């Protein structure tokens, strides 16, 4: 019984339910013989109450960040996540079986405070002064061109005569 779980009398539970229904001006429970059933309003409200408690719990977790957490919030570029991380998830689970890995993908560098990210794997030159960066994989570039243009390129200096296409850098 709920009253036993809360260490109060059944009458106290009934009074609180009545007070809540009067305050909300909504019937939350209906008697069906000897049992009590939730109304549609109660079922709907329960989803919002659960979401509120989940949000409260997350707020407490963020405010009281402990030195050890079993949740790892990892962000990666969509390409890296799809082609490198996802195929290796089973290996991660073997190494850290109790860890709760939360993987998100973003093209731009995330805002670590706002996005609740512990670490990110991003393509780039690593010149992000507010972050500690480590090169994971060198990313050599190659030049692609038609054979006719290729015959005209004998040195790096020759490249200065041509219009080159470059990737667009992230805003961050």
- pLDDT per residue as tens, the chain (172 positions): 777 888 888 899 889 999 999 999 999 999 888 888 999 999 999 999 999 988 888 777 777 765 456 788 899 989 889 988 999 989 888 888 888 888 999 888 888 878 888 899 888 888 888 888 888 888 777 778 889 988 988 988 888 888 777 665 655 5
Please give the Cα distance from 85 to 101 (Å, whole number).
11
Asked if the structure places residue 162 within a domain, the reply is no
Same domain, 153 and 74: yes
Instruction: Please check whether residues 78 and 115 belong to one and the same domain.
Output: yes
3 state SS of 29:
strand
Can you give the pLDDT at residue 65? 66
**46 to each of 5, 78, 105, how far by Cα in Å?**
19, 35, 31
| Among candidate residues 40, 63, 86, the one where a domain is terminated | 63
169 within domain boundaries = no
Tell me the C-alpha distance between 109 and 132, whole Å: 13
Query: Which pLDDT score, from 0 to 100, does residue 48 have?
Result: 92
Kindly state whether residues 81 and 35 are assigned to the same domain: no
Q: Which residues does residue 74 pair with via DSSP β-bridges, in sequence order?
A: 103, 119
> Strand 119-121 vs strand 100-105: parallel, antiparallel, or unpaired?
unpaired
Residue 172: what pLDDT? 54
Q: What CATH number corresponds to the domain at position 38?
A: 1.10.10.10
Task: List the domain range (segments joined by +) for residue 11.
Answer: 2-63
Q: What was the pLDDT predicted at 37?
A: 92
Total domain count for the chain?
A: 2
Could you tell me if 29 and 82 lie in one domain? no
- Which residue bears the tokens 């659960």? 50
Distances (CA, A) of 63 to 55, 58, 124: 12, 9, 31
My answer on whether 72 and 120 are in the same domain is yes
pLDDT the model gives residue 20: 92
Say what the pLDDT of residue 67 is: 47
Residue 15 falls within a domain, yes or no? yes
Give the C-alpha separation, 118 to 96, whole Å.
Answer: 16
**Could you give the count of Cα atoms lying within 13 Å of 124 in the half-sphere of its Cβ?**
19
Query: 99 with 47, same domain?
Result: no
Residues belonging to the chain: 172
Based on the fold, state whether residues 72 and 153 are members of the same structural domain: yes
């Amino acid at each position: 019984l709920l009253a036993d779980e809360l260490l109060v009398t059944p009458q106290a539970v009934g009074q609180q339910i009545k007070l809540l229904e009067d305050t909300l001006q909504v019937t939350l429970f209906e008697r069906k013989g000897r049992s009590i059933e939730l109304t549609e309003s109660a079922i709907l409200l329960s989803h919002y109450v659960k979401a509120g408690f989940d949000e409260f719990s997350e707020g407490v977790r963020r405010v009281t960040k402990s030195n050890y957490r079993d949740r790892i919030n990892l962000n990666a570029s969509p390409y890296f996540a799809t082609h490198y991380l996802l195929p290796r998830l089973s290996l991660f689970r073997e190494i850290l079986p109790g860890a709760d890995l939360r993987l998100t993908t973003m093209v731009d560098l995330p805002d670590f405070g706002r996005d609740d990210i512990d670490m990110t794997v991003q393509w780039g030159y690593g010149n992000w002064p507010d972050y500690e960066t480590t090169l994971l994989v060198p990313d050599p570039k190659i030049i692609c061109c038609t054979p006719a243009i290729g015959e005209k390129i004998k040195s790096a200096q020759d490249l200065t005569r041509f219009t080159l296409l470059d990737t667009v850098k992230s805003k961050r």
